[in-house]
Amino acid sequence: MKLKLIFIVFFALASCKQESKKETNVKEISKAKAIKTNNALEIYDFNGIEPFLNIKDNKTYVVNFWATWCGPCVKELPHFEELYKNYRDKNVEVLLVSLDFPHQYDTKLKPFIKERKLQSKVLVLDDPDMNTWIPKVDENWSGSIPATIIYNKNERTFFEQSFTYEELEEQLQQFLN
């Protein structure tokens, strides 16, 4: 029954189209406020996350949408961490946007972050209005995860797929050359 409900929600989201692109600079990011801070876990609604998706500075951003309950997401997370470690001094920032369920932040998400020693910045998206924010991330996004955006001030590419480290690095290199 739960899988059927999830399928219906994602199907409905895939049919929804909406355009809204907002450019952001680093100063605006510093103004973005978390809805609440839950023992150092930054929890945002989409309005708080959106500035992180549109920074116009000299960095390249790799933004991964994931959840602890998503097997392919968990499998590829080490690749994002490796990318962070290998490129953090090369003007690349990795942001991990968790879509975990709010009632599991303390019992599942926080322990997961601690056990895996995630070094990339983890942002938590807590906004139930998926029909509004999913097409703002990318108008072609069906809502399934993992999903990744790689962007800089000149270009942006959206991926609705899992990555190996080699695939992820290859995509990043296209932004750095």
The residues, ordered by sequence, that sit 6+ positions from 141 with a Cβ below 8 Å of its Cβ are 134, 135, 147, 158, 160
pLDDT value at position 39? 53
pLDDT value at position 8? 34
The model's pTM: 0.80
pLDDT value at position 34? 46
What averages of pLDDT result for each successive group of 10 residues across the chain (177 residues)?
Answer: 39 35 44 48 93 95 98 97 96 97 94 95 94 95 97 96 97 93
**Structural domains of the chain, with CATH:** 2-176 (3.40.30.10)
